[in-house]
Amino acid sequence: MRYLLFCNERYYPKGGWNDFISASNDVEELVRLGNKELEKAGAESSDWWQVVDTESLLIVASHGLPFGSSAPSRPHTITEP
């Protein structure tokens, strides 16, 4: 799967993979799912979501920002120690 959806509450995110919801090769499918998560009522509702492209490592779609996030998405690199 090329795209990953992460979402949760802004003030109480679980963090990292714990905010992972679903994977798909279709960005629009994950956008719809992210918006459905925002519509849920109750204590476990989400107020942000992000779709990450596993090839470019960029956020390709989003709504809201996780707590403390203000910078636009940029490529991330992994370096060997």
| 14 neighbors 8 (Cβ within 8 angstroms) | yes
Query: 16-34, pLDDT tens digit by residue?
Result: 888 899 999 999 999 999 8
Domain membership flag for residue 39: yes
Q: Structural domain tally of the chain?
A: 1
> 1 CB contacts (<8 Å, ≥6 apart)?
23, 24, 25, 54
Domain membership flag for residue 32: yes
Confidence band for 15, pLDDT divided at 50, 70 and 90:
confident
| 64 neighbors 51 (Cβ within 8 angstroms) | no
Indicate whether 13 pLDDT > 80.
no
Domain membership flag for residue 53: yes
Q: What are phi and psi of 51, to 5 degrees?
A: -110, 125
Domain membership flag for residue 16: yes
Residue 56 pairs with which residues in a beta bridge?
A: none
- Which structural domain, as residue segments, surrounds residue 21? 3-63
Domain membership flag for residue 17: yes
Domain membership flag for residue 77: no
